[in-house]
Structure 1
């Protein structure tokens, strides 16, 4: 993967985060690839991201980092099952006391992760070369 094709996005408001969410739709990862560092106020998630922007079926390893995190809550995620696979459906920002709020990650199967943030500070970057995948994510309508 060349630097030109590697995706790098920064989200500092709800509209920016919609672009990040679109790039991450149907990304898969493991519970063990989610790391919260309270002292650093940082939440990091690693995924195998489907490259919607590419012409063919490809996935790439990507990392998403949320800064200025005050607290993280999980619901219906088996945090002790480090090898359990999760599929990301959406990422949304709920404004709170400006400029803060909550970043919510919604996973298939009804689980979610909610990060209370002082301000919206999200970075998404591809960190590997893409590889072909025969499966294109599909959604029931």
Structure 2
């Protein structure tokens, strides 16, 4: 075969992606953009130094096909897992309020010394979660079958 693979040629499969450098994280972030989750779906395990969120992720990778075929947009439950977390800080997020639904806008990495740094989860409404990490090790894994997005619309961002 002499031509490059195209996105349309890919088979439908659950995502299972790992980001080990900032460039990988940009891709993972774009696929997690507009995921929603209640506060009680966040957990930090201090012993194994793991932070995880069960997200209801909008399937951006499927949106062009859904639009083209005039079928409903989809979401899927995914686990966002961040390893080697040394410290968690929040801004504009009340960790005790477990009922608030949060919306993830972006995941970024602020490098520090050596491989260490801070992963920042930017949330709608000026909220943020900062995770001081020993190194960049982030996984996004779909854990359920896709379902019709309750709004039946793609998320929009005013310019």
Confirm or deny a common fold (TM above 0.5).
yes
Alpha-carbon displacement from aligned partner over 1:120-139 (angstroms, at most 9, x marks no partner): 01111000000112121001
Aligned to 2:13: 5
Task: Give the structure with the higher percent helix.
Answer: 2
Aligned to 2:85: 69
Q: Structure 1: 5+ residue runs without aligned partners?
A: none
SS at match of 1:18: helix
Match of 1:30 among 23, 38, 43: 38
For 2:97 and 2:91, locate their aligned partners in 1 and report how far apart those are by CA, in whole Å. 14
Alpha-carbon displacement from aligned partner over 1:88-116 (angstroms, at most 9, x marks no partner): 00000000011110000000000000000
Larger radius of gyration: 2
SS at match of 2:40: helix
Provide the aligned C-alpha RMSD in A: 1.1
Task: Give the structure with the higher percent strand.
Answer: 1
Aligned positions, number: 139
TM-score under structure 2 length normalisation:
0.85
For 1:15 and 1:30, locate their aligned partners in 2 and report how far apart those are by CA, in whole Å. 28
For 2:79 and 2:12, locate their aligned partners in 1 and report how far apart those are by CA, in whole Å. 17
Q: Does 1:104 align with 2:112?
A: no
Match of 2:22 among 14, 19, 22: 14
TM-score under structure 1 length normalisation:
0.96
